[in-house]
Structure 1
Amino acid sequence: MRKLTFAMNLSLDGYVAAPGDDLGWSVPSDELFQWWSDRVGATDLALYGRRLWETMSSHWPTADQQPGATPAQIEFARRWRDMPKVVFSSTIDKVDWNARLVTGDAVTEITRLKNEDGGPMDISSATLAATAMRAGLIDEYVLVTHPVLVGGGKPFFTALDTWVNLNLVETRTFPDGVLLTRYETRR
């Protein structure tokens, strides 16, 4: 069975995006950017919701061709393009860049994907992750917490019907006071 991880940047007050989907507060240091790039390189399948898919697919497919692209950005763009992706949406009708579209029930499809042979999967969307959380499908949570309060926006966690007990398995600090905490779901 594949492992499903929900990993995202978040503000200290728990948001993955500030009001208006503003992500300007989460610009990573070089060290953190490399950590995210290595994570993408080790991910066998990424699961995206529509909004984050539109953000990522509007930039990363050609980011390595932009003037001034750094070696790290070039590497991330290549890794992102190569990584298989599944996009969950009922409002778009086409995806590309090594992705396929799922318009049906997300819980059914994520459960099916988890039961397949293969390497780790990352879920990269707070809304999609909320659905997976409520269904008990997430095996690991990776919170990359930035020392900023944004006061509102899209929360990392959703309201749940039952508690989810977790075990802390890793902490790491990055420049600028960014703290990574990784938890495994206690089953």
Structure 2
Amino acid sequence: MRKIILSASVSLDGCFEGADGGLDWHLVDDELHTHFNDQLRGMSAFLMGRVNYELMARVWPDADADPSSSGPEAEFAGIWRETPKIVFSRTLDRAGPDATVMREVDPEAILELKRRPGGDMSIGGARLAARFRQHDLIDEYRVYVHPVILGRGRPLFEPSDDRKPLALAGTHTFGNGVVLLHYKSD
């Protein structure tokens, strides 16, 4: 069965984005971007909320045509174009030619997606991840902790009464100080 993998960058104090919604504190250099590409290249789908999809769709479809793009950035543009997207939105009627819109997180529909053949699926966005967590649909967590304390911002995981035990699958420290914490669901 295919897995759903959450990959997210957070500050040391657990923020997914800054108080102003900004991500300018992310320390994504060529080493880390190459790692992201290696993780995402084999995914059968990107599962995204509308906001995340629209942000990504503004940048990545033709980023490899931008001479200022680094090698890993240009490579990701191709990965972005080639990977099907499932966008969860109540307001979008349709998305790009490579994207399917789903209105809600229907656990049975998601389990059916997981049963289909193909590579694992990557989920992005804190709000969407929270809805998937409510239904225990996330199989792996790859949390990239950036060496910065924001003080304020939106947390990756909102307060919840749901406890979820996880098993450590590995760690990795990148040259820029970012640490990957990789966990699997029990």
Scaled to the shorter chain, the TM-score interval is over 0.9
Question: 1-side partners of 2:86 and 2:15: how far apart?
Answer: 23
2:68 is aligned with 1:68? yes
- For 1:183, give the aligned amino acid: Y
Aligned position for 1:142:
142
Normalization by structure 2: what TM-score? 0.93
Q: CA shift at 1:51, angstroms?
A: 1.2
Question: 2-side partners of 1:104 and 1:13: how far apart?
Answer: 30
Normalization by structure 1: what TM-score? 0.93
Q: After TM superposition, what 4+ stretches of structure 1 lie above 6 angstroms from structure 2?
A: none
User: What does 1:162-177 correspond to in 2, within 5 Å?
Assistant: 162-177=162-177
- For 1:12, give the aligned amino acid: L
- For 1:145, give the aligned amino acid: V
> Secondary structure of 1:51's partner?
helix
Question: 2-side partners of 1:16 and 1:108: how far apart?
Answer: 28
Question: 2-side partners of 1:36 and 1:65: how far apart?
Answer: 20
Question: 2-side partners of 1:107 and 1:93: how far apart?
Answer: 21
Question: 2-side partners of 1:112 and 1:162: how far apart?
Answer: 24
User: What does 1:103-182 correspond to in 2, within 5 Å?
Assistant: 103-182=103-182
Identity %: 37
> Given the superposition, is the C-alpha separation of residues 55 and 177 from structure 1 closer, same or farther in structure 2, using an over 3 Å criterion?
same
Aligned position for 1:24:
24
Q: CA-atom RMSD, angstroms?
A: 1.5
Write the deviation string for residues 3-58 of structure 1: whole angstroms up to 9, x where unpaired.
11111111111111112210000030210010011112121111001111111011
> Secondary structure of 1:24's partner?
coil
Gaps of 5+ in 2: none
Gaps of 5+ in 1: none
Aligned position for 2:9:
9
> Secondary structure of 1:130's partner?
helix
The answer to whether the 8 A contact 2:30-2:70 is kept is: no
